Structures are given as structure tokens and as C-alpha cells.
Amino acid sequence: MKKSELVQKSYEIAKERYAAVGVDVDAALARLQKLAVSIHCWQADDVTGFEKLDNLGGGGIQATGNYPGKARNIDELRADIEKVLTLVAGEHRLNLHEIYGDFGGKVVDRDQVEPEHFTSWMQWAKEKGLKLDFNSTSFGHPKSGDLTLANPDKSIRDFWIEHTKRCRKVSEEMGKFQNDPCIMNIWVHDGMKDLTVNRYEYRRLLEQSLDEIFAIDYKNMKDCIESKLFGIALESYTVGSHDFYLGYGAKKQKMVTLDMGHFHLSESVADKISSLLLFTPEIMLHVSRPVRWDSDHVVILNDDTIDLAKEIVRADALDKVHVGLDFFDASINRIGAYAIGIRSTQKAFLQGLLEPLAQLRKYEANGQYFERLALLEEAKVLPWNAVWDYFCLKNNIAVGEDYIAEIQQYEKDVTSKR
């Protein structure tokens, strides 16, 4: 029997098995098909970007490893993204940091960036059926230091305010061009390595800077603000903490970004979803995998990812939660890292969509907690993998482990020659 026939047969059996517990598999697949993952461009080049500035690195950003074949320019980055898109199903988005602009070999400082520096990205994305998201970039610059938007030095603070304003303008033009809002994320690394006696003052300055940045109300972009527990070399104090952005987001009705690596390892990011949905308009996710710290390991199908996806489905919030990725592993094949991370994220959401939620809610409403726990456990071993294989098959992408050979061939033909 051909593999495609085996996949089809397994799917039909799985479909019947799920129907027995009240799950419409076809409806689940239809929803998964529409789940757009915002793919982060920086996995392909180790967060280097294409500026001609004296990039100093730092700011809590560190890609580890030196696997051969990283993208060295825009053409190579785009080629890698195009390859990734042949390995994953669905229509997705591409998330760009400001440092990935098409600067034409010219020096363009960050307070001078214009929409024209991303025109070629917009045109390319349209050709490839992608929508774009965007990020301001505060790290890796001579004026970064330990403080940017919270810097007491007004000249430095104004530089980063202007940069972020211009990034919002770029995002607005992206959203207008693609006729779909561009989501722009603001994350600044501002903090202190050791003890500070000015916590309040730095946060007051950050609030003041954000108010100035958000003074213009755009229609074709959406703002989101991202917290962090700590940054590399800034371990003792982070100005933009979760408490700060949660308060600011609720007060100003801004989207809050939840990065899975930006909290204590014992915290549940999944548990935060329902609370934020009550007080902020939408949520942006950066799906990552911390190992002991915010190490940005490749997303895998682990409990944290599954719990997060299930909680979003249980809250009926797929239209209010935007799913983006944020990891950069330079120790393995970068295309492979993309494929594993995207596919694992989709698998997690598929498990959430296949959960027998109606019956589980009925048990809970009736106080049948044994029955609820028993069904939750049995649902874990229902044949979701057969449904996943069928999802790949019907989208004409590699089923199961077949994508490994495709990536190996791309490495042989393309990345190994860089």
C-alpha cells in the first residue's frame, strides 16, 4: 500500500474514533488551515540583519552555534523562507525586524528608516502569498547601551523614540499595502545588571516614551508591547516587566506580547491567556522554548506548547490571539529548525482543536470531575497523528519524517555552497 493510501485510510479510522467522542475532525482541520503563524525572519541569519552600521551586538540577544549556511543577504534569506514554505501547510505571515530592511548598501541609521526601505519586502511577500509583521530594533546599536526608551539622557531617549515612531509608520504602510493589519511588536532590553535605586524613574520614563510613540493612531497596523524577565548582562532589573506592560496594555488598550521564554520557568504562560483576554483587546504570542533561561530553543511538541494551544482553543480565542515564533538556533540546520518549530506549533493547535471540549465542559458543569479527568487522559492518546498526516497530505507537503530528506537536499544544493 502506498504511503498516501495508508495516510488516507488511517485518517478515516481516526475520523470515526473522534466522532465517537463528539469531535468534528473536518471542522478542526478547516480551523487549522486558517491558523496563520507569523514566521520570524531572524532564525535564518542568527539575528544579524542587513545594516551597514557598526553593530555591537548585546541587548539580551545571543544566537549560539555556528552551523554552516546561514543567510548572508536578503536574497538568501528570502530563498530560505521560500523553502520553509514548501515544508509547512497553511498561509502564514513573515515577521521582520527593522534591521532586515532593504537599505541598498547605504548607511541608514535607525532614526532615519522609511517605508521605502521595505518596499521590496512588501512586493516579495505579496508574490509569495505572505502578510508581513514588524518589530522595532533597539539592540545591537552604538546607542543601545543598557537603556533606550527609558534612558535618562534625553538625546538617546529621543533617538529611540524617533526610531520606534518610524517603525510604526513602516508598519502602517505594510498594513495598507497588504490590506491586512501589520502587527508591530515593541521590545526593549532596558535594564540593569546589578541593583538599582531608580526602578520607578526608569519605568516613568518608559511610560512617557511609549505615550509619545503612540500619539498617532494608525488604522492599518496594531501595536503590541513585550515584557521580559531579564536580559543577558541585565539580570537584576528589567524596566519593561510583565507587570509594567500588563498595566500599560490594560490602561491604554494595547496588545500585550507573551513570549514563552520571558517568564520564570515555573510560570504557566497558558494560564495568562484568559486573564489578558478580559482586559486587553488581543494577544500576541512568541512561541519559544526556554531551557533553564530565555535560550530561544526550537519549539517542540512539549507540554508547555500543547497547554498553551489548548487554552487558546478552550477560550475560543483563535481570532484574538496572534501566533508568532521567536527562536534562533545556530547550532543546527536553520531550515530544519524552522520546519520543526512551525510544524510542532501547528501540531499543538491541532491537538487543541481535536479535544472533546463539549463533553469535557458537560462533565465539569455537572461536577463530574472523575469523568472530566478520565476523558482528558484518554484524549491524549486519540489518533491525532493520523489527522496530522492527512493535513500534510492534503496540503501537498511532506508527510511524517519525509521533510528531513528535503532539507538535506536543500543543504546539499544551496546552503552548503554559501
- Domain of 97, CATH number, reads 3.20.20.150
Q: What CA–CA distance (Å, rounded) separates 392 from 304? A: 23
| The pLDDT value given to residue 92 | 97
Q: Are 340 and 289 in contact (CB under 8 A)?
A: no
* Whether residues 400 and 265 fall in one domain: no
Q: Of 331, 353, 375, which one is at a domain's C-terminal end?
A: 353
* 292-305 residues labelled b (16+ CB within 10 A) or e (exposed): eebebbbbebeebb
Q: What CA–CA distance (Å, rounded) separates 233 from 235? A: 6
Residue with cell 540593569: 192
* Whether residues 262 and 410 fall in one domain: no
* Whether residues 6 and 91 fall in one domain: no
**Separation in Å, CA 409 to CA 66, 304, 333:** 20, 32, 12
Q: What CA–CA distance (Å, rounded) separates 109 from 216? A: 22
**Segments in the chain below pLDDT 50:** none
* Whether residues 376 and 257 fall in one domain: no
| The pLDDT value given to residue 143 | 94
- Predicted structure pTM score: 0.97
Report if residue 145 sits inside a domain. yes
- Is 414 exposed, middle or buried (CB count within 10 Å of its CB: 0-12, 13-18, 19+)? middle
Question: Which residue, among 142, 141, 149, has the nearest Cα to 165 in the 3D structure?
Answer: 149
3-state secondary structure 143-210: CCCCCCCCCCCHHHHHHHHHHHHHHHHHHHHHHHHHCCCEEEEECCCCEECCCCCCHHHHHHHHHHHH
Helix-, strand-, coil-residue percentages of the chain, each rounded to 5: 50, 10, 40
* Whether residues 307 and 397 fall in one domain: no
Report if residue 29 sits inside a domain. no
Strands (E), 8-162: 37-40, 93-97, 131-135
For residue 221, which amino acid is it?
M
Report if residue 288 sits inside a domain. yes
| The pLDDT value given to residue 59 | 67
Q: What CA–CA distance (Å, rounded) separates 341 from 296? A: 11
Q: What CA–CA distance (Å, rounded) separates 299 from 339? A: 10
Report if residue 30 sits inside a domain. no
Query: Domain of 162?
Result: 36-353
Which residues on neighbouring strands pair with residue 257, listed in sequence order? 226, 284
| The pLDDT value given to residue 56 | 52
- Is 388 exposed, middle or buried (CB count within 10 Å of its CB: 0-12, 13-18, 19+)? buried
> Looking at the annotation, which residues are catalytic?
187, 226, 228, 259, 262, 286, 294, 296, 326
Q: Each residue of 13-62: pLDDT tens digit?
A: 999 999 999 999 999 999 999 999 999 999 999 999 999 776 555 666 78
Q: Are 255 and 269 in contact (CB under 8 A)?
A: no
Report if residue 31 sits inside a domain. no
* Whether residues 211 and 271 fall in one domain: yes
* Whether residues 348 and 370 fall in one domain: no
- Grid cell digits, residue 283: 494577544
* Whether residues 281 and 384 fall in one domain: no
Q: Of 330, 353, 376, which one is at a domain's C-terminal end?
A: 353
* Whether residues 393 and 334 fall in one domain: no
* Whether residues 399 and 271 fall in one domain: no
CB atoms within 10 A of CB 358: 11
Task: Give φ, ψ of 238 to 5 degrees.
Answer: -120, 125
The three-class DSSP label of residue 142 is: coil
Report if residue 69 sits inside a domain. yes
Q: Each residue of 185-203: pLDDT tens digit?
A: 999 999 999 999 999 999 9
* Whether residues 370 and 325 fall in one domain: no
Report if residue 89 sits inside a domain. yes
* Whether residues 267 and 370 fall in one domain: no
Question: Which residue, among 377, 270, 384, 285, has the nearest Cα to 32 in the 3D structure?
Answer: 384
Q: Of 353, 376, 409, which one is at a domain's C-terminal end?
A: 353
Number of domains present in the structure of the chain = 2
Report if residue 28 sits inside a domain. no
| The pLDDT value given to residue 1 | 80
